[in-house]
Structure 1
Amino acid sequence: MPWFLYLLECTDGSVYTGIAIDVAARFAQHASGTGARYTRSRKPVQVLAQFEFADRASASSAEYWVKRLRPPEKRALAAGARTLESVLPAPPVSEEPQEEAPG
């Protein structure tokens, strides 16, 4: 089942970052005041963007990195001016056995 990283624009101009299976249902929770504590006092206005991940662990990892961005950087990500890959750490490089030079 896919998970989504989502970005919400709030009434105070801030950008909230979260993860969910159903972004529309989660937005409704935030809007009604039953979502995260952060959005209770800063009501969400709209979903700026959502990104699909294969599982919760992947979405949670991406959320960790996106939450460290400043609001303008989050808006650039939502607008497509910045890629999600540019925010996430590079995947580990597997070390392949080196062939010894003849000598």
Structure 2
Amino acid sequence: METKHYFYVLECKDQTFYGGYTTDLTRRLAEHNAGTGAKYTRLARRRPLKMIHAEVFETRSEATKAEAAFKKLSRKQKEIYLKNNPSLSVLDEKSVSSVH
């Protein structure tokens, strides 16, 4: 089975965005919401988090480059990026969107 590499964006309870990389969207969202994900999302005031965007890439390098580029954007630029770039339909599935 071929590994998929994802760049994803979470919307935090405090309305901030968090961008990250994973090979398993469902697991990673659960980790963030459990407070065991990235340092940024461990703060209780940022949880629960909702996955609002994900893109799949063939390599880890491509996905982490997309993550790094997103993190360099201003808030306004991030909003424009999210509006203009299609996300995976997997975000509409219960398994990802309902994990808290």
Q: Any stretches of 5+ residues in structure 2 without a counterpart?
A: 87-100
Q: State how far apart, in whole Å, the 1-side matches of 2:14 and 2:47 are.
A: 8
1:46 aligns with 2:40: no
Q: Which residue of 1 aligns with 2:6?
A: 4
TM-score for the superposition, normalised by structure 2: 0.74
Question: Which residue pairs with 1:17 in the alignment?
Answer: 19
Higher relative contact order (CA 8 A, sep 6+): 2
2:99 pairs with 1:58: no
1:20-99 alignment runs, 5 A limit: 20-41=22-43, 42-79=46-83, 81-82=84-85
Q: Report the structure number with the largest CA radius of gyration.
A: 1
* Separation in 2, partners of 1:31, 1:72: 25
Give identity over the alignment, percent.
Answer: 34
Superposition RMSD on alpha carbons, in Å? Answer: 1.6
Contact 1:4 / 1:51 at 8 angstroms: preserved in 2? yes
- Alignment TM-score, normalising by the size of structure 1: 0.72
3-state SS in 2 of match to 1:33: coil
